[in-house]
Structure 1
Amino acid sequence: MEYTKVSCFPEPDSETNREILTAQLGELGFESFSETDDAVEAFIPSSAYREELLHDESLVNNPLFKVRFQTEIIPDQNWNEVWEKNYFQPLLVENRCLIRAPFHKDTPKAEYEIVIDPRMAFGTGNHETTYLMISAILQQDLQGKQVLDMGCGTGILGILASMRGADMVKAIDIDEWSYKNTLENAEINNVTNIDVAQGDAGLLGKEKFDVIYANIQRNILLQDLPVYASVMCKDAEIIVSGFYREDLPAISAKAEEVGLKPAGYEERNNWVAARFIR
């Protein structure tokens, strides 16, 4: 698949402004992000890219900073080579879970090892939200549980849930790349109890789940929380991430509106993972 890379140069440049910019681009449909010394790089399938996206009011009328853009077509290629050279470094989470790519060698031993062939799907663990979700899974008792991984990306959360004893994992992502990548990564890690589907929350309705993970951007969470709540068993829990600390009140209010009780949250560099119980 051909991608369009948009290099975004915020002026003034700061960590906070980069975080705001990344969130805004995520809401506009950009799927993957990386950073250089002077830019945020955002990736979107070329079939979904329109120049009008860069003229969105949230970008051009932001009172905190201005943005200069530079676009580049990224042809279909060997994404392993791209990630190996530029983005994906081995990561050890809580000294218990090692996340690496097939090309990483001489990595430390860990209780859990997940091999991710990332291609263009989000979820290598290097982003704060994925790290927070993995940390949460490492603290859970998942033996015999029915698990849902919404917005599965590379499938990393569902794969770890399976390794942690989940009986069945349902993994859903709207992106075709993520759907295929989750299937590939499940096979690489010899995980056979993951049912992968391409789509959105509209696929839910019949099954019930003990645990739900939803590492998705803020607006999608606000839209789909009622659906997630409807497929949760009694006493089930949901962990949501993909948003900033300042978005937590809105997420919590919507969760409580649909019958979910807050059960704490963790924060990492202003990104949040919040837990709710039905």
Structure 2
Amino acid sequence: MDYLEFKITCLEQFREILIAELSMIGFDSFLETEEGIDAYTLESDFDRGAFDEVIAQYKVDAEITLEEGVMPKVNWNEEWEKNYDPIAVDDLVYVRASFHPSKPEFKHEIVINPKMSFGTGHHATTFQMLRHQGQIDHQGKRVLDVGSGTGILAVMAHLLGASEIEAFDIDDWCVENGNENFDLNGLTTRMELGTIREVNPQGEFDIVLANINKNVLLDEMSIYADLLKSEGFLLLSGFYTEDIEDLDACAKPLGLELISQQSKDNWAALILKKAR
């Protein structure tokens, strides 16, 4: 069966958004490129109407241009290995794939084989979440990772000494990939499938991690607050710098105080603390 190939040129901040949107309509493999993303789907699974709708939705804002083609056979492991470089978050953590050599000079090291899941540390949101995790005491703490993707933030929590970690995602492929990455990094935790309401984690947690998107964060903020212990920490990312005010306004009435923020490539990340 042939694969259809779509070479999509877009603004960098829209890469993960487009990957998420296309994965919902049957695309099963992606490669990030310097210009944007290459997206692939089996010819038999392709829904032209749904695809055109996604492209039309983001075409202007993301400055999308598009080339279509057919690729008869693809060795996906070989393809993403060619396009996956290790990253370093300060001197805190070195994120690499299993085929990269180790670098013991870093405090921590995470092995992530991402396949099509989201969160390798390359994107500004994941990078900043890892950096913020390094600023929070995880030792002996109970941690919840909401929308885990590859599981990279849960792995970081494990390396920082968390005693109990719960993680879940709405995408079954992410759950499968996340559990593979947990195994690579020595976690016995199993990622669950579902939304936070479906999984229904039982609090209280010392730390809640949520790298998703603005609308989901606003919708679920009260759930995060209820799950947090007094003086617990909520780490958020997945939104633009100009969205900080809206998220802070949503969090304050719930007893969540903004104590730290950072921005990278116009993507923001926040640390909030629950009042006593």
TM-score range, shorter chain: 0.7 to 0.9
User: What's the counterpart of residue 170 of structure 1?
Assistant: 166
Aligned-pair CA distance for 1:54: 3.2
User: Unpaired runs of 5+ in structure 2?
Assistant: none
User: Is contact 2:138-2:157 (8 Å) kept?
Assistant: yes
User: Is contact 2:132-2:271 (8 Å) kept?
Assistant: no
User: Is contact 1:205-1:230 (8 Å) kept?
Assistant: no
User: Is contact 1:80-1:117 (8 Å) kept?
Assistant: no
CA distance in 1, matches of 2:113, 2:63: 35
CA distance in 2, matches of 1:201, 1:3: 34
CA distance in 1, matches of 2:46, 2:193: 17
User: What's the counterpart of residue 83 of structure 1?
Assistant: 80
User: What's the counterpart of residue 186 of structure 1?
Assistant: 182
1:218 aligned onto 2:214: yes
Query: Sequence identity, in percent?
Result: 33
User: Is contact 1:101-1:115 (8 Å) kept?
Assistant: yes
User: What's the counterpart of residue 58 of structure 2?
Assistant: 59
Aligned-pair CA distance for 1:73: 7.1
- Greater alpha carbon shift after TM alignment, 71-80 vs 252-261: 71-80
CA distance in 1, matches of 2:211, 2:151: 11
Q: Given the superposition, is the C-alpha separation of residues 117 and 66 from structure 1 closer, same or farther in structure 2, using an over 3 Å criterion?
A: closer
Q: SS at the partner of 2:64?
A: strand
Q: Given the superposition, is the C-alpha separation of residues 73 and 243 from structure 1 closer, same or farther in structure 2, using an over 3 Å criterion?
A: farther
1:25 aligned onto 2:18: yes
User: Unpaired runs of 5+ in structure 1?
Assistant: 11-16
User: What's the counterpart of residue 257 of structure 2?
Assistant: 261
Deviations along 1:78-129, one digit per CA (max 9) or x if unpaired, are 543222112x111121112111111112645322111112111111111111
1:36 equivalent among 30, 33, 40: 33
1:68 aligned onto 2:65: yes
CA distance in 2, matches of 1:232, 1:4: 45
User: Is contact 1:34-1:42 (8 Å) kept?
Assistant: yes
Deviations along 1:130-187, one digit per CA (max 9) or x if unpaired, are 1111111112111111100111111111111111110100011111111111211111
Q: Given the superposition, is the C-alpha separation of residues 41 and 260 from structure 1 closer, same or farther in structure 2, using an over 3 Å criterion?
A: same
User: What's the counterpart of residue 14 of structure 1?
Assistant: none
Q: Given the superposition, is the C-alpha separation of residues 235 and 48 from structure 1 closer, same or farther in structure 2, using an over 3 Å criterion?
A: farther
Aligned-pair CA distance for 1:219: 1.6
- How well do the aligned residues superpose, as a CA RMSD in angstroms? 3.0
2:131 equivalent among 110, 132, 135: 135
CA distance in 1, matches of 2:165, 2:41: 27
CA distance in 2, matches of 1:221, 1:173: 14
User: What's the counterpart of residue 229 of structure 2?
Assistant: 233
CA distance in 1, matches of 2:172, 2:98: 22
Q: Mapping of 1:195-206 within 5 angstroms?
A: 195-202=190-197, 203-206=199-202
User: Is contact 2:30-2:40 (8 Å) kept?
Assistant: no
Deviations along 1:171-226, one digit per CA (max 9) or x if unpaired, are 1111111111121111111122x242111111225332110111112221122112
Q: Residue type matched to 2:52 in 1? A: L
TM-score where L is the length of structure 2:
0.83
User: Is contact 2:80-2:115 (8 Å) kept?
Assistant: yes
CA distance in 2, matches of 1:43, 1:23: 12
Q: Residue type matched to 2:87 in 1? A: L
User: What's the counterpart of residue 7 of structure 1?
Assistant: 7
CA distance in 2, matches of 1:124, 1:253: 30
Q: SS at the partner of 1:143?
A: coil
User: Is contact 2:30-2:116 (8 Å) kept?
Assistant: no
Deviations along 1:23-49, one digit per CA (max 9) or x if unpaired, are 763674658875534x32165877696
User: Is contact 1:124-1:130 (8 Å) kept?
Assistant: yes
Q: Given the superposition, is the C-alpha separation of residues 261 and 140 from structure 1 closer, same or farther in structure 2, using an over 3 Å criterion?
A: same
Aligned-pair CA distance for 1:22: 3.8
**How many matched pairs?**
265
